[in-house]
Structure 1
Amino acid sequence: MRYGKREITAADAAAVLAVGERHAEALLKDRLIAGRQLRSGTWLTSRAAVERYRATAQRGRGRALSTATAWGMLWELSGLQPTWLSASTLARVRQQIAAQSAEGIVQATSGRTRAHYYAPSPMSPDVSWEDLIRTGRPAARHLGVRVNRAYNYAAGYVRDGSSVAFASRHLFVEDYDGMNVLFDNTLPISYSAPSMPDAVVAVDLTLTGGVYERERGIAIIARLQNAWRAARGRS
């Protein structure tokens, strides 16, 4: 992996986020900020990775949702039935969709999974899309997001097995600035469609992309939210 001068330390990340160095190290250890750890124990990351976290970090009490509820919110926002939620939980989810901002929805649902970043090795075979439920950049073209057709990026949830096994099978090299993103599959149900629902795609785009992707992801959530409100006669 070649990082060069673009790497920063956990102390640098802490300064950007205005938190303690131990807090920043914990965020790196928990993969909330993408980075790598040297044999010495020192954590390294990049400013881009820190900015990704800062743009979507859950701040304040009461914003974080449980994994199942977060998935349910995105299912509901996509016009699907989150059948795993109780009637009372679904009612609360609908109240939150009606009241929250698009940014708030992204923040509230961002903790339901973890993203792992990889770069393909020169010997890497073509990605087998059948093994992934597409999301993020590769699944966002129909939502009006520009995608560079020259690159076959992988961004998805592994259907069976772990993301680590998938990365090993495809000879991916761990690289926290890599363009291939594998998400831990924490869905509470089986899902056979080739791509995630639109709200999931939009949030994942926001979580893993740069400034353009974040802006587009939030705009898509706002559009879905407005359509959801209109369908229910809410302003």
Structure 2
Amino acid sequence: MVEITAAEVARRLGVTDRRARMLLTDGTIRGRQLPSGDWLADNDDVIRYLQRRRKGAGRGLDRATAWAILYELSGVRAAHLLPRATYTRARARIRTWPAERLATEVASRTTTHRYRSANVAKAQAGLIRTARAASDLIGSDLLPDMRRVAGYVPADTTVADYARAHFMVADPSGQDVLYENTAPLHSYTEPLPAVVAADLAVSTDTRERSAGLHALDEMKRSWLRSHTR
């Protein structure tokens, strides 16, 4: 489990520090209180809370739409993945949503699972790399970190099967992360820049998060230039 401070929760949610602590105290967001009285929150649960809150205000993204948005931002036309009306709405969201909201909304398309790996190189070899392991794809100053596993399992493989085959041990605090490959039509087979950027943009690491959001914003600007009549 990756944890963040209550102050970071407040910043992410756009609420006061007091409100963030209340959400942790009443269990709305999963976390733990330190002997000092300070709170640490489960980062994944903060993301889920954001998604629930936004779905309460309107319909959230389904997985196919989330993937289509990331394909479009990567320069890959995704009309074949969605019905025409849904595709039109997906493009409208690219136009109107800021990078931070895009990152939060598309995070719902996958689930991450944390492990410890006996051999990182072998565990990484069969994956579609993402996040810090693929930071070279987004034109960032961040150097790829190959000391940790970060990638999507092949489309025809479950996370559990992949982990078992590569001798990875489930660990909520593990630094090696496997992502479920939920792309429609088994279409995600090679790393795409917007997917990498979106995964970085929900990182608890400030530099990674900043790099991911900046890259998504640049991709959105490029997409808008290409689709402005």
Q: Give the shorter-chain TM-score range.
A: 0.7 to 0.9
Counterpart of 2:185 in 1: which secondary structure? coil
2:109 alignment partner AA = R
For residues 210 and 57 of structure 1, do their structure 2 counterparts lie closer, same or farther at Cα, with a shift above 3 Å needed? farther
Higher mean C-alpha deviation, range 82-91 or range 222-231:
82-91
Mark the runs of 5 or more structure 2 residues left unpaired by the alignment.
6-18, 33-38
In structure 2, C-alpha distance between the alignment counterparts of 1:21 and 1:67, rounded to whole Å:
30
Correspondence 1:212 to 2:207: yes
**Counterparts of residues 22-171 of structure 1 (less than 5 Å):** 22-24=27-29, 47=40, 49-50=42-43, 53=46, 57-58=50-51, 59-60=53-54, 61-62=57-58, 64-82=60-78, 83-121=80-118, 124=119, 126-143=121-138, 144-147=140-143, 151-159=146-154, 160-171=156-167
Q: Quick one: distance in 2 between partners of 1:85 and 1:203? A: 20
Contact 2:114 2:178 in 1 (8 A): yes
Residue 233, structure 1, aligned to residue 221, structure 2: no
Corresponding residue number in structure 1 for 2:11: none
Q: Compute the RMSD of aligned alpha carbons.
A: 3.3
Aligned length: 204
Q: Residue by residue, what CA displacement relative to the aligned partner does 1:45-69 show, whole Å, maximum 9, x if unpaired?
A: x936438835993233226201111
Structure 1 residue ranges, 4+ long, deviating more than 6 angstroms after superposition: none
Q: In the alignment, is the contact (CA less than 8 A) between 1:125 and 1:170 conserved in 2?
A: no
1:183 pairs, out of 179, 182, 204, with: 179
The one-letter amino acid of 1:142's match is L
Quick one: distance in 2 between partners of 1:7 and 1:219? Answer: 21
Residue identity opposite 2:159 in structure 1: S
Quick one: percent identity of the two aligned structures?
29
- 1:209 is displaced (CA, Å) by 4.3
2:9 aligns with: none
What are structure 1's unaligned runs of at least 5 residues?
A: 9-13, 29-34, 36-45
**Which residue number in structure 1 is paired with residue 16 of structure 2?**
none
Report if the CA contact (8 A) 1:126-1:170 is conserved.
no
Which structure has the highest helix share of the two?
A: 2
When residues 163 and 55 of structure 1 are mapped into structure 2, their CA distance, relative to the original with a 3 A threshold, is closer
